Amino acid sequence: MTTVLDSIIEGVREDLEARARQTPLSEMQALAASADSALDAHTALEAGRDDPSGVRIIAEVKRSSPSKGALAEIPDPAALAAAYQSGGASVISVLTESRRFGGSLSDLAAVRAGVDIPVLRKDFMVDEYQFHEARAYGADLVLLIVAALDDRQLRDFLSLTHELGMNALVEAHTEEEIERAVTVGSRIVGVNVRNLKTLDVDLNHYSAMARHLPHDVVRVAESGVSGPDGVLDYARQGADAVLVGEALVKHGDPTAAVKSFRSASLSKEAQ
């Protein structure tokens, strides 16, 4: 049975083949090698652990999604990213998948030029080419989705990410996927409460999976945030960072929204 994730990856591969014909791997590797050094996203996110200023926010530039359709036009992704940074975001996530999310590598380059904090290329990484491409366009962090990769790919892609000077947010949804992520040496592990195979969301899922996350990894909660209370819930469940997309792009005042999310997490010790 073909899942939503399978369908997305099929389109990603088709679009990737077209880009690789236009810019061969050797040329993309040279562009990646000439790019400025990547910023340290691991340190930026690890700082959210036991920090009195609250959990770290990964704020997302996201025009649409397979589950919700169009979310926001975002005519100036760099300006949106700068507003996120002004609000206290630690990392900016940029969707670069075009068919389902309306993103592009141009968005990534624009955001990289518009902020001085780490930038995540959020896409479905299934080929070596994409990692050199991510670095060439200024990414400091890439997304590795455990459900989309076998163990060899996961290990090799994580190694390549580090060789290129970047960090990886390794995304899991199940206990078995968390174990696979940890086994290959992932340092930043996210739990997505959205099942990418069905697009179903379970807001209690992070709580169920959090106990399987080792204390020595940066723990990231992904999806399901509709407001400050959602960030607070994840903070209370031990998240070091929270990735937020829809709630930010639809808010109207992204700087104030990020500030409110950071502020909410300060009360995580309150009962």
- Residue 201: phi and psi, rounded to 5, are -115, 135
What's the residue count for the chain?
A: 271
List, in order, residues 6 or more apart from 108 with CB less than 8 Å away. Answer: 94, 96, 119, 121, 134, 137, 138, 139
Q: How many CB atoms lie within 10 A of CB 34?
A: 9
Question: Sign of the CA dihedral 154, 158, 160, 164?
Answer: positive
**168 in Cβ contact with 144 (< 8 Å):** yes
Active site amino acids:
60, 62, 122, 171, 192, 222-223
The terminus-to-terminus CA distance of the chain in angstroms comes to 44
**85 in Cβ contact with 113 (< 8 Å):** no
